[in-house]
Amino acid sequence: MQQLGNAALARGLRIALALHLIALWLLALPAQAANTTTLPKNVFILDAAWMDATTERAWDDARQPQSLLQGIQRYEPGGGLQGTITAQPKAQFRLLVPQILYGLTDDVTLALGMPVVTSIAIDPRLGWTPGVYQPSLGRPYSEDDFWQWAKSMGQKKPTSYTADAALADMVLGLRWRLPPIAFLDRAGVKAAAALQVALPTGKAADPEELVGAGTTLWDLHNYGDVEVHLGFDRPLTWGGVNRINFGADIYYSWLRAREMVSPTGSKNPLLLTHAPYIGEKWTLDPGDFLGFIGSVELVPLVGPTWSSFISGHKIERARSFPPLLTVSLAHNYVRVGQTRFESASKIWSWDREKIWKPGDKNTVRLGAELSLLRLGLPLQFYAGYRDQEWVPGRNTRAANILSFGARLMLRFW
């Protein structure tokens, strides 16, 4: 509504959440040293995670917290500033992420993630700062005045948006534990490379909706169409158990350009009549990500270890299983490139590009994993919390995610 008349509201409310799905499947592996672990040959893991992501805040160019939507000034033709629409939108995404992982060889693991956005709820939480005195009204516009005015021009006040379940872009990944490299090996460091590809199964946002979101990776804004990872782990062992692991992962995510349909204003004539001047289609080229994750995992409880059918009734093998409880702390720094909007209107494009300038995200992750393998059950449970507000980012939006999950390990032959 920089024209309830312009698209600022639209671009502001079309929330692109920063969900940290990235490397989810990698973290699903049943062991410490999460950056380099692969499954034994022919072992399956069925993993299901439930995630609740909330976004309320964005970081500006100076790393200062802002509302997801900056104030949008509205004008009375010839009457000056009507006022500023303020908003403190809150967006909540809930996802169920089933994953399947399979050990092709002892060194190569294949994974397929099928994120399903089970619900989206966006509350625009609109407010109003009055503008100048309006002679035609005898007062400045109140919020109610303004929306009455807008309605008389065919524009309804945006209300909360909800959406039902829809598949997001699926992810296919492959991790290859690299053969020992002499100098790394001497330092006790393991290395792995990974490749992740997204399949375009997500649903794009309805261009005619003012408040809304889709389920594509652009909407989720946290994993690329193609990602390349290089991961390292340096476990420290006491008493035959890896008690601490220092990990690092550097990755590059490429996000392809995609063609988008322009809104015609059929539902929001005042705010979303863009097609006449930007063309029927426009191109979105999201900024790529360059990320680094540093992590430390601690084992506070190794737990009792029993020989069981999953260890072939061998206690030595059971002792090689993950400890009963592992906790982790990680920091993920992601440099985000400039997102480009290419349309027939340079002005329209710039109005969007200026709020998608290069920036970064800082994610702090806390995690805990309960593994029952040593007790003879091929089950693991995990919980995590990822926060993007504790450490300021820049030109990005902060999504905080709570997640719970469970894994079942299987071997059929």
Q: Under the rule (CB under 8 A), what is the footprint of other proteins? A: 2-3, 5-6, 73-78, 80-81, 131-133, 135-139, 141-142, 144-146, 148-149, 151-154, 252, 265, 269-271, 273-274, 276-278, 287-290, 335-338, 340, 344-348, 350, 353-354, 357-358
HSE-up (13 A, CA, CB side) for residue 351 = 20
Q: How far is the CB of 279 from other proteins (least distance, A)?
A: 9
User: One-letter amino acid identity for 209?
Assistant: E
Return the number of the residue (192 or 373) whose C-beta is nearest other proteins.
192
Return the number of the residue (120 or 150) whose C-beta is nearest other proteins.
150
Cβ neighbours of residue 381 under 8 Å, at least 6 residues apart? 369, 370, 372, 404, 405, 406, 407
Return the number of the residue (292 or 381) whose C-beta is nearest other proteins.
292
Instruction: Kindly report the backbone phi and psi dihedral angles of residue 148, in degrees, each rounded to the nearest multiple of 5, phi listed first.
Output: -65, -45
Q: How far is the CB of 37 from other proteins (least distance, A)?
A: 25
Q: How far is the CB of 156 from other proteins (least distance, A)?
A: 13
- Which H or E run contains 370? strand 359-371
Question: Strands, E, within 23-139: which ranges?
Answer: 43-59, 65-67, 69-76, 80-87, 90-103, 108-113, 116-123, 126-130
10 Å CB burial of residue 152 (0-12, 13-18, 19+) is exposed
Return the number of the residue (7 or 122) whose C-beta is nearest other proteins.
7
Q: How far is the CB of 335 from other proteins (least distance, A)?
A: 4
| Residue in 54, 36, 100, 29 with CA at minimum distance from that of residue 321 | 29
Largest Cα separation within the chain, whole Å, is: 87
Return the number of the residue (13 or 91) whose C-beta is nearest other proteins.
13
Q: How far is the CB of 19 from other proteins (least distance, A)?
A: 20
Return the number of the residue (2 or 109) whose C-beta is nearest other proteins.
2
* CB distance 71 to 130 below 8 Å: no
Q: How far is the CB of 182 from other proteins (least distance, A)?
A: 13
